[in-house]
């Protein structure tokens, strides 16, 4: 992602900022679209991963829909040009105001997560003289084998409707005059790298759609969610996920009837690699047991390490070199780092001990003013930024700048 020309362009930029490689973003979107189109699959982008305007413009231009988990995200999708028929609204705690707004927009579907939510949507739709299209989000009890904070498909999770409640769901749908049953929805978690998880999901989806159709409830849409992971360890070697292998799993193991559509809700896989958080070293604190590199970015700009103990590759991009090559002639695939390294705990300025991006990070000898890049930050980075400690709004730099 980085070469000397790019690093030099940062010289007069105020840090910290998110650097977006729009070319990589577009290449990722194209790879996903080509792989999905082979099977006539529908892709919705999960706005919770990133709602930067330029990112959304590229995603909309690719023809993808919008997967929203709040009324604010539904509003953002509509305002940025996604048509209502491209918008789905999930979330375990939709407020009446959010539901009413989505009803007014005539969105494609509500992904409903409880019996009580079905009741509320039916009542609110009736008050408006509308019929709401709904998909039932089912908890498949499939273990995503990922961090427990981002696992969503187990019985112990708050998401979706458990299998023992489904008879009551069918009864509710049949008697609700202002609900139109569209299909079934699943999402088992995030940052999934084991493709066998998706095979297990397909088995559950096949079972559930047969169960509904046996009870006189035709299923038009099979929404299998998202969850495809990315390579945080080697972002330059694997900048684009293997969409071909991902979609082929569903083509091979999901039972799809001629009248059915298959929908996906991808977030991280589309945007994670296209952005890095770029920060400047404020201070170096050398100790007996630890060396600290104190940055001007903190957990307020990138929450994932503090919240999930998540790994992001950390690079001192002021110390890039290419052996005997001139830096200005190098591209990002040939860049490497000076061989002599020092271990640093890379930390931020926030008044919390959890404000740490990485411990014992091997970097070239690092000095005040050096630029540090935290890679693979395009998903759940900018969107989780906060004003804690009265931090300023996050800034952006785009490759086209």
pLDDT in tens, 201-256: 999 999 999 999 999 999 999 999 999 999 999 999 999 999 999 999 999 999 99
The pLDDT tens digits for 34-73 are 999 999 999 999 999 999 999 999 999 999 999 999 999 9
Helix, strand, coil percentages, rounded to 5, for the chain: 35, 25, 40
* Alpha helices, H only, 177-319: 196-214, 243-253, 268-271, 304-308
pLDDT at position 157 is 60
Percent of the chain exceeding pLDDT 70 equals 91
**How many C-beta atoms surround the C-beta of residue 128 within 10 A?**
12
Q: Report whether pLDDT(76) > 70.
A: yes
Rounded mean pLDDT of 291-308? Answer: 97
> What b/e readout covers 309-322, taking b as 16+ CB neighbours within 10 angstroms?
ebebbbbbbbbbbb
Q: Report whether pLDDT(322) > 90.
A: no
pLDDT at position 401 is 79
Confidence of residue 326 (pLDDT cuts 50, 70, 90): very low
In total, the chain counts a number of residues equal to 401
Kindly report which listed range (215-229, 330-344, 352-366) carries the lowest average pLDDT score: 330-344
Q: Report whether pLDDT(374) > 80.
A: yes
DSSP string, 66-99: EEESSHHHHHHHHHTT--GGGEEE--TT--HHHH
Does 93 or 321 have the greater pLDDT score?
93
pLDDT at position 328 is 44
Question: Are 256 and 220 within 8 A, CB to CB?
Answer: no
All domains of the chain in start order, with CATH:
4-17+273-398 (2.40.37.10), 22-271 (3.20.20.10)
Q: What is the C-alpha radius of gyration for the chain, rounded to an integer number of angstroms?
A: 23
HEC per residue, 111-142? EECCHHHHHHHHHHHHHHCCCEEEEEEECCCC
Taking the CA atoms of 101, 106, 107 and 110 in sequence, report the sign of the dihedral they define: positive
- Tell me how far apart the alpha carbons of residues 162 and 150 are, in angstroms, rounded to a whole number: 18
pLDDT at position 154 is 45
The pLDDT tens digits for 273-297 are 999 999 999 999 998 889 999 999 9
Kindly report which listed range (45-49, 319-323, 379-383) carries the lowest average pLDDT score: 319-323
The pLDDT tens digits for 109-167 are 999 999 999 999 999 999 999 999 999 999 887 754 544 443 444 445 667 898 899 99
pTM over 0.95: no
Does 201 or 320 have the greater pLDDT score?
201
């Amino acid at each position: 992602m980085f070469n000397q020309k790019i690093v030099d362009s940062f010289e007069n930029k105020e840090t910290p900022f998110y650097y977006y490689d729009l070319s990589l973003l577009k290449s990722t979107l194209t790879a996903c679209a080509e792989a999905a189109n082979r099977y006539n699959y529908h892709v919705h982008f999960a706005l919770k991963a990133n709602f930067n305007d330029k990112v959304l413009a590229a995603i909309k231009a690719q023809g993808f829909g919008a997967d929203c988990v709040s009324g604010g995200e539904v509003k953002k999708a509509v305002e940025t040009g996604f048509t209502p028929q491209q918008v789905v609204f999930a979330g375990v705690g939709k407020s009446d105001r959010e539901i009413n707004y989505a009803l007014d927009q005539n969105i494609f579907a509500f992904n409903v997560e409880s019996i009580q939510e079905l009741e509320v949507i039916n009542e609110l739709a009736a008050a408006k003289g509308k019929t709401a299209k709904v998909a039932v989000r089912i908890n498949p009890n499939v273990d995503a084998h990922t961090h427990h904070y981002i696992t969503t498909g187990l019985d112990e999770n708050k998401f979706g409707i458990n299998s023992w409640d489904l008879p009551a769901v069918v009864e509710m749908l049949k008697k609700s005059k202002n609900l139109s049953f569209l299909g079934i929805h699943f999402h088992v978690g995030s940052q999934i790298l084991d493709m066998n998880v998706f095979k297990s999901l397909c088995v559950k989806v096949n079972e559930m759609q047969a169960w509904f159709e046996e009870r006189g409830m035709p299923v038009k849409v099979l929404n299998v969610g998202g969850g495809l992971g990315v390579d945080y360890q080697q972002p330059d070697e694997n900048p684009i996920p293997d969409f071909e292998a991902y979609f082929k799993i569903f083509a091979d193991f999901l039972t799809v009837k001629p009248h059915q559509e298959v929908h996906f809700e991808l977030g991280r896989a589309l945007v994670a690699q296209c952005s890095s958080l770029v920060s400047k070293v404020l201070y170096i604190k050398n100790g007996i047991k630890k060396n600290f590199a104190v940055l001007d970015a903190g957990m307020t700009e990138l929450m994932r390490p503090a919240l999930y103990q998540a790994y992001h590759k950390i690079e001192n991009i002021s110390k890039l070199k290419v052996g005997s090559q001139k830096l200005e002639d190098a591209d990002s695939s040939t860049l490497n780092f000076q061989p002599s390294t020092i271990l640093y705990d890379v930390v931020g300025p926030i008044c919390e001990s959890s404000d740490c991006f990485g411990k014992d990070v091997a970097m070239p000898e690092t000095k005040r003013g050096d630029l540090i890049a935290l890679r693979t930050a395009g998903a759940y980075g900018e969107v989780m930024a906060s004003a804690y400690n009265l931090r300023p709004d996050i800034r952006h730099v785009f490759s086209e700048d």
